[in-house]
Amino acid sequence: MKILLLGIGNLLFGDEGVGVHFVNYMKQKYSFQGEHQLDFVDGGTLAQRLIPIMVEYDRVIIIDTINAPGVKAGELYFFNFNAVPDAVNWQGSAHEVEMLQTLTMMDLAGDRPDTMIMGIVPTIIEITDFSLSESVSASIPLMEETLLKHLESLGLTSSKKSDVPISSIISTSYKLEQCR
């Protein structure tokens, strides 16, 4: 089985880049073993242009921000795209809406792999900033634990390669070699 860990987000707008930062963080911090292939991709804000990559996989795990009105920043959701929680309304950033449209188009064509979404509610940041808010940064350990448990349920084990902090990844995410 081929599994894709896909980070989505705009690095220029603080919390909006958490998906990309998190995928880079997991790639640098862990190695994964098992009978399945796990690939890491920085999807940025490409949305529909990611379809040719996504269709190559049996399972896709998308890491991104999500909009959930009335929920405080840093709250984490992890769900199958076939069972979106009522609280999630997909009305956040432009890339969030485009990713929803991309997944819906893939459904219509019958090409969407099994898709899990790990979404975190961002703090609104209106300035260009290569950082994560305190609320989102505080949720990184929960994101990490949740993802590792899910990957383990799919038959992948992890071993820590380094103790790299997410803060050291954020300032260099745009420089890292393409995850693929």
Would you list the domain boundaries of the chain? 2-170
Gap between the Cα atoms of 10 and 46, Å rounded: 10
The residue type at 118: M
pLDDT digits (tens, 9 = 90+) for 166-175: 888 876 666 5
Which residues are CB-neighbours of 14 under 8 A, at least 6 positions away?
Answer: 122, 123, 125, 127, 129, 130, 131, 132, 133
Does the pLDDT of residue 5 top 90, yes or no?
yes
pLDDT tens-digit map of 46-60: 888 999 999 999 999
Length of the chain: 180
Closest C-alpha among 132, 136, 105 to residue 118: 136
What are the backbone angles phi and psi of residue 142, rounded to the nearest 5°? Answer: -70, -40
Question: In this model, does residue 129 exceed pLDDT 70?
Answer: no
Which option is the CATH number for 2-170: 3.60.10.10, 2.40.110.10, 1.20.1560.10, 3.40.50.1450? Answer: 3.40.50.1450
DSSP E strands: which ranges in the chain?
Answer: 2-8, 30-34, 37-44, 59-65, 76-80, 114-120, 156-160
For residue 86, give the nearest of 97, 96, 71 by alpha carbon: 71
For residues 10 and 95, is the Cβ–Cβ distance under 8 A? yes
pTM of the model: 0.89
Torsional sign, CA 137, 74, 142, 60: negative
